[in-house]
Amino acid sequence: MDNLIDVLIPVDAETAEALASAEERLEIGRYVSELMRRRRAQSRVMRAIADLKQEAHANGLTDDDVDEELKAWRAERHA
C-alpha cells in the first residue's frame, strides 16, 4: 500500500491491545482500505441506478415498467 497515512479512530480496549503490533495495524489498514474502496464503488453504482430511475420516471415509465424490461432483458440473455 502506497501513501499510507495514520489515522486515529476510537476502539475498545481489547481492540487497542490487538492493534499494538505494527504488523497487525498494517493488516487491518489494508482491510479497512479495501472495505472503503468497495463502499465507494457501491455508492457510485447506487447513484447511477438512482439517476437512471429518475430518467425513466421523467420519460413516463413506472418502476413496474422498468422491472418488466429488466426481466425481459435477463430472459433474453439467458436464452
Task: Show the domain range for 45.
Answer: 22-78
Q: Looking at the domain assignment, is residue 6 inside a domain?
A: no
Q: What is the mean pLDDT of each run of 10 residues along the chain (79 residues)?
A: 86 94 94 94 90 93 90 91
The domain total for the chain is 1
Q: Looking at the domain assignment, is residue 4 inside a domain?
A: no
Q: Looking at the domain assignment, is residue 56 inside a domain?
A: yes
What pLDDT shows up at residue 2? 72
What pLDDT shows up at residue 1? 59
Which residues contact residue 53 at a Cβ distance below 8 angstroms, ignoring those fewer than 6 apart? Answer: 63, 66
What pLDDT shows up at residue 70? 86
